[in-house]
Amino acid sequence: MVTDPTGRGDLFSPDCPTRQLLDRIGDKWTSMAVKVLAERHPGTVRFSDLRRAMPGISHKMLSQTLQKLAADGLVTRRVDDTLPPSVHYGLTDLGRSLEEPLAVLREWAEAHMAEISAHRGVHA
Amino acid sequence: MVTDPTGRGDLFSPDCPTRQLLDRIGDKWTSMAVKVLAERHPGTVRFSDLRRAMPGISHKMLSQTLQKLAADGLVTRRVDDTLPPSVHYGLTDLGRSLEEPLAVLREWAEAHMAEISAHRGVHA
DNA sequence: CTGTATCCTCCAAGATACTG
DNA sequence: CAGTATCTTGGAGGATACAG
């Protein structure tokens, strides 16, 4: 557990890097991309594969999402310099290590979805 | 692991309820509120306490966040009908069960923050 | 003190078109 | 096929004022 030297949990400062990181990995598309990549063999997934696997994502969003993931060292990017070019993505070790925490959250959501729906219904 | 009967992971449908739920709990303020409430005794936290504990959140956002959490059955809300009125919040059992998965994610972020910062720096 | 309603701003994200 | 650039917009979220 990290607590900063001032005595305040630094997670609660708006400009805390860890909080920003959390915002990013909590992102819908980010977590989804990590899951898709985790389910396939590293370096075998093409841009268009990802698009197909992520219904509703736009061309642009996927591009941006992958860029951020690559910039953070979570995914690898390999360009085959063919014509037309194809690009393959895969998780790094770091990226793979993120899949577990995300899975825990997904499982919680799946496990409690019904209960929550029911509760919403009651208080409609 | 839930996979729907059609053979498609239903998490990937844009209108999948579980995906919507994930979007909500991945929300910055939601996860922060759960953490704050988890760290205190149930039913002892006032609106203004939460505001102070969550730097940067606006009046409106806190109100909305708590409403959603209450609607989903994750937090309780008790109104002391005094003057001026005071309202106390606490996690339900369901809410408490969410803290663990969120903690796992926070810990991942804290553990790997340095590594990711370093990677970003390299590719500045 | 807690909460709601109104207005307003601004940016995330879609659509589209273009390049290598 | 993969990616970038431009333009546009819906809606999330802040500020403010007011009510109970």
- Considering only CB atoms, B12 lies closest to which of A1, A53, A108, namely A53
Q: Does B19 touch chain A (CB under 8 A)?
A: yes
C1' (D6) to CA (A64) span, angstroms:
16
- A4: contact with B, CB 8 A cutoff: no
> Hey, which residues does B87 pair with through a beta bridge?
B79
Q: What pLDDT, in 10s, does the model give residues A73-122?
A: 999 999 998 888 999 999 999 999 999 999 999 999 999 999 999 998 88
Residue B18: pLDDT above 50? yes
pLDDT of A4 reads: 44
B105/A26 touch (CB, cutoff 8 Å), yes or no: yes
The predicted-structure confidence for B57-79, as pLDDT tens digits, reads as follows 999 999 999 999 999 999 999 99
Looking at the predicted structure, is the pLDDT value of residue B2 above 70? Answer: no
Residue-level pLDDT at B124: 63
A 43-102 → B contacts, CB under 8 A? 53-56, 71-74, 94, 97-98, 100-102
- CATH 1.10.10.10 corresponds to the domain B17-123: yes
What is the structure's pLDDT at A13?
A: 78
A13: closest chain B residue by CA:
B55
Query: B90 CA to C7 C1', in Å?
Result: 33
CA distances from A19 to A72, A89, B10, B40 (A): 15, 26, 29, 21
Cβ atoms within 10 Å of B70's Cβ, excluding its own: 17
Of A116, A27, A7, A49, which Cα lies nearest the Cα of B75? A116
Query: pLDDT band at residue B14, thresholds of 50, 70 and 90?
Result: confident
User: Which nucleotide is the nearest neighbour of B58, by CA and C1'?
Assistant: D14
pLDDT confidence of residue A124: 63
User: Which residues lie near nucleic chain C, judged by CB under 7 A?
Assistant: A 27, 56-61, 84-85; B 46-48, 59-60, 63, 66-67, 77, 79, 84-87
Choice between B2 and B15, residue whose per-residue pLDDT is larger: B15
Instruction: Please report the pLDDT score of residue A123 as a whole number.
Output: 73
pLDDT of B10 above 50: yes
Q: How far is the CA of A58 from the C1' of C15 (A)?
A: 10
For residue A8, the SS3 value is coil
* pLDDT value of residue B55: 92
User: Could you tell me the pLDDT band of residue A3, with boundaries at 50, 70 and 90?
Assistant: very low
Q: On the CB side of A9, how many CA atoms lie within 13 Å of its CA?
A: 14
pLDDT at residue A7 greater than cutoff 80: no
B3 and A CB contact within 8 Å: no
End-to-end Cα separation, chain B, in angstroms: 39
- Nearest residue in B to A97, CA atom: B108
Tens of pLDDT, residues B88-100: 999 999 999 999 9
* Average pLDDT for B90-111: 96
Q: Which is more confidently placed, B18 or B34?
A: B34
Min Cα distance B52 → chain A (Å) is 10
pLDDT digits (tens, 9 = 90+) for A46-61: 999 999 999 999 999 9
Q: What is the pLDDT of residues A11-32, one digit of tens each?
A: 877 778 888 889 899 999 999 9
Asked whether B119 and B71 are in contact (CB, 8 A), the reply is no
